[in-house]
Amino acid sequence: MIHDLFIDANRCIGCRACVEACSECPSHGGQSMIHLDFLDRTQTVQTAPTVCMHCVDPSCAAVCPADAIKIDDNGVVMTAMPERCIGCGNCSLACPFGVPQLHVEIDLMMKCDLCYDRTSAGLKPMCATVCPSGALYYGTRDEIEDLRRTRATNTFAFGDAAVSTRNHLMAPAGTASIHIHDGAGHSGRGLSRAEQQLGEALC
């Protein structure tokens, strides 16, 4: 039984243990299939791990001209088949979450396949096993909602486009769906309480 990944970027400490652990997975050949982003290091230490959300109706697979991205019976969106991938990069452009990364040197798209060789054998993915802050968690929705005050959501609205995913983001209770806007009309993010308190420092 393959469970789901739950991502709580609020807990992420930017250590990259997930990225390094991913590269140690026996089938990854030293290559990490996930990445870690500093959102805006000038302003904040906030970081976020980016793993594949495994969309129910993945646009990466839909736009692939070579039909290289397959979805298995468990709903896991697999990394591109090397013999088919033509390295066009359509998938990278189409993914609403910015997940697939094109490796131009080998003309191949690579992305998280939910640690298929581990999870299908009853193990947890490397990233969620090592994550020291719980920003990545592998298990069931009931388990994580029992442990935490945040709630899992797996429906997103990118403008008018609705996307539902196998993996979940953790959000404050009462968040039914996450709406992502194009940024127009927004003046940037708000400051956290601690960031405001740093602004009060007497120098």
Partner 1 sequence: MATLSATVDELIEAYGPHLSFEPPGGFANRGAVDRRVETHCCFCGQQCGVKLLVKDEKVVGVEPWEEFPFNRGKLCPKGVKRYLQNNHRDRLLHPLVRTGRGFARIPWDEALDLVAERFERLQRAHGRDSVAVLSGASLTNEKAYLMGKFARLAVGTRHIDYNGRLCMVAAGAANLKAFGIDRAANPWADIAATDLILVVGANVSECSPITTDYIWRARDRGARLIVIDPRLTPIARTSDLYLPVRPGRDSALMNAILHEVVRLGGVDHEFIAQHTSGFEELQRTIAHYAPESVAQEVGIPARRIVEAAQMWVQAPRTMLLHARGIEHHTKGVENVLSCINLVLATGKIGKPGCGYATITGQGNGQGAREQGQRCNQLPGARDVENPQHRAVVAERWGVPESRIPAKGASAPEIIEMSHRGEIRGLLSMCFNPLVSLPDASFTRAALERLDFYVAIDFFLSETARHADLVLPGSLQEEDEGTVTNVEGRVLRLRKAVEPPGEARPDWQIICDLARRFGAGEHFAFSGPAAVFDELRRLSAGAVADYSGITYDKIDRQMGVFWPCPDDDHPGTPRLFEGGRFAHADGRARFHAVEYRPPAEEVDAEYPIILTTGRVVSQFLSGTQTRRIGPLVAHQPEPFVEMHPRLAAKLDVADGDRVRVVSRRGVLVLTAQVVATIRPDTVFIPYHWPGERSANRLTLRAYDPIAKIPEFKVSAVRIEKIAAHAGRTGALPRFAAAEASEP
Residue 92 as a binder of partner 1 (CB under 8 A): the answer is no
Q: How far is the CB of 171 from partner 1 (least distance, A)?
A: 14
Selected binder of partner 1 within 87, 89, 96, 134 (CB under 8 A)? 134
CB closer to partner 1 out of 159 and 172: 172
Terminal-residue alpha carbon distance, the chain:
56
**Maximum pairwise Cα distance, the chain:** 61
How near is the Cβ of 158 to partner 1 at its closest, in Å? 26
Please provide the DSSP assignment of 45-75 as one string. --EEEE----BSS-HHHHH-TT----B-TT-
- For residue 142 the two structure tokens come to 């009931």
Determine the size of the site formed for partner 1 (CB under 8 A): 45
Site string for partner 1, 177-196 (x = CB under 8 A): ---------------xxxx-
Per-residue DSSP letter, 115? S
**For residues 51 and 127, is the Cβ–Cβ distance under 8 A?**
yes
CB of 191 to partner 1, least distance (A): 9
Residue 107 binds partner 1 (CB under 8 A): no
**39 lines the binding site for partner 1 (CB under 8 A):** no
What's the Cα-to-Cα distance from 113 to each of 1, 52, 109, 167, rounded to whole Å?
A: 15, 7, 12, 12
Q: Which residues bind partner 1 (CB under 8 A)?
A: 10-17, 19-21, 23-24, 26, 28-30, 41-47, 124, 126, 129-134, 147-149, 192-195, 197-198, 200-203
